[in-house]
Amino acid sequence: MSAKKEKTWLTRTKRPIVIAGPCSAESENQVMETAKRLKTTGKVDIYRAGIWKPRTRPNSFEGVGVVGLPWVKRVKEEVGFPVTVEVAKASHVEQALSFGIDILWIGARTTVNPFAVQEIADALRGVDIPVLVKNPINPDVALWIGGIERLEKAGIKEVGAIHRGFSNHGEKYYRNRPQWHIALEFKNKRPDIPLINDPSHICGRRDILQDVGQKAMDLDFDGLMIESHIDPDNAWSDAKQQITPETLGQMITEMALRQDFEDVLPMQGELDYLRSEINHLDDELINILGNRMAVARKIGSYKKDNNMTIYQPKRWKNIMDKGSKLAETNQLSDDFIKALFEAIHIESINQQEKIFKNK
Ligand code: PEP
Ligand code: MN
């Protein structure tokens, strides 16, 4: 394990360090207006804007490209924010550096690819610039740390990490499941690296942003990266999760922050750390059960439409047998897993019964 965290360029101002700005730079006016209004809140330290956007599917807006860099440069010069953009390949690095961008970040879809991260690291050899590395889209701490090590080996002195959650098929509540225990594992392995939470990409929606950001503060993250747009509903990317600069200012104002956490840290023993891990795993369990019941309700509708009975003994026996085997490999007793699955089954049946009665 590395040494305890030193104050770095990324964390020296205050805790939490707040990085905010639009998902994507869309126009010079939108970039400047967002920056000015964020400045007015007095809550933001660093301005972000996506210039090149890695999108899941083609034909989505893929960023304005290099024409947006002078707009971001204007934010730095006229509004006074240090500025950060996402880079995904060597040419992005060169262009960003030529426009005086202060900090670079590597996106989740790039961190998964060691070739891409290495290409960026090589382009940065001999350059003194802080780089933030988002977690890879898959829950793999080694890959996340590996990306950071590639930059460190290339001589980058200030590296930060961004926790933006992990993609998960069937997830309903979050856009990217936070899996807080993975962020905590990262923190445990690399306590020297500033860790920033990105509630925007975890939530994918506005109504739970504050809750997720607060959770990150309670877990002693160093900062937050939050997307903000002057007209969120009409944003060209990630519209559902963006908030106005004023809402963002309010959100940060309302957060309960333990400012002098460093002083309290020695008293925060192993037990507190483990308890917070348990609390977040419990939250995950409840969210997973919620997702499971949503699928059960869909099955309920199908059974109803096809005149099938709710209780299907053969299917249930299969579930139990499979559960018992997996329980054994996880050091869980057979009695426990059976009791747990009985309870889940009863809830599923109740939810399906409601569907049968409702329609
Ligand atoms: C972003 O920050 O706009 C972005 C593309 O995020 P991520 O890499 O976390 O998907
Ligand atoms: Mn985004």
What separation in Å is there between the alpha carbon of 12 and the centre of ligand 1?
24
Residue 288 CA to ligand 1 centre (angstroms): 24
Cβ atoms 106, 132 nearer than 8 A: yes
Are residue 241 and residue 308 in the same domain, yes or no? no
Please say if the pLDDT value at position 270 is more than 80.
no
Q: Give the atom of ligand 1 at the shortest distance from the alpha carbon of 165.
A: 9
In a domain, 1, yes or no: no
Pairing of strands 159-163, 195-197: parallel
Q: Which residues line ligand 1 (CB under 6 A)?
A: 23, 50, 54, 107-109, 134, 164, 201
In this structure, which residue's CA is closest to atom 4 in ligand 1? 107
Answer yes or no: is 155 within a domain.
yes
Tell me: do 244 and 345 sit in the same domain: no
CATH number of the domain enclosing 306: 1.20.59.10
Q: What is the pLDDT of residues 102-132, one digit of tens each?
A: 999 999 999 999 999 999 999 999 999 999 9
For 93-129, letters b (16+ CB in 10 Å) and e give bebbeebebbbbbbbbbbbbeeebbbbbbebbeeeeb
Q: Express each pLDDT in 273-322 by its tens digit.
A: 677 778 888 888 999 999 999 999 999 899 888 888 877 788 888 888 88
Domain hosting 165: range is 8-254
* Residue 138 CB neighbour total at 10 angstroms: 13
Domain with residue 46: its CATH number is 3.20.20.70
Residues 183-234: pLDDT tens digits?
Answer: 999 999 999 999 999 999 999 999 999 999 999 998 889 999 999 999 999 9
Q: Is residue 328 domain-resident? A: yes
Domain check: are 275 and 250 in the same one?
no
**Each residue of 226-250: pLDDT tens digit?**
999 999 999 999 999 999 999 999 9
Task: Give the chain's domain count.
Answer: 2
Q: Give the span between the Cα atoms of 52 and 50, in whole angstroms.
A: 6
Which is the closest atom of ligand 1 to the Cα of 50? 3
By most ligand atoms within 8 Å of CB, the mutation choice from 86, 196, 236 for ligand 1 is 86
Tell me the CA–centroid distance for residue 81 and ligand 2, in Å: 20
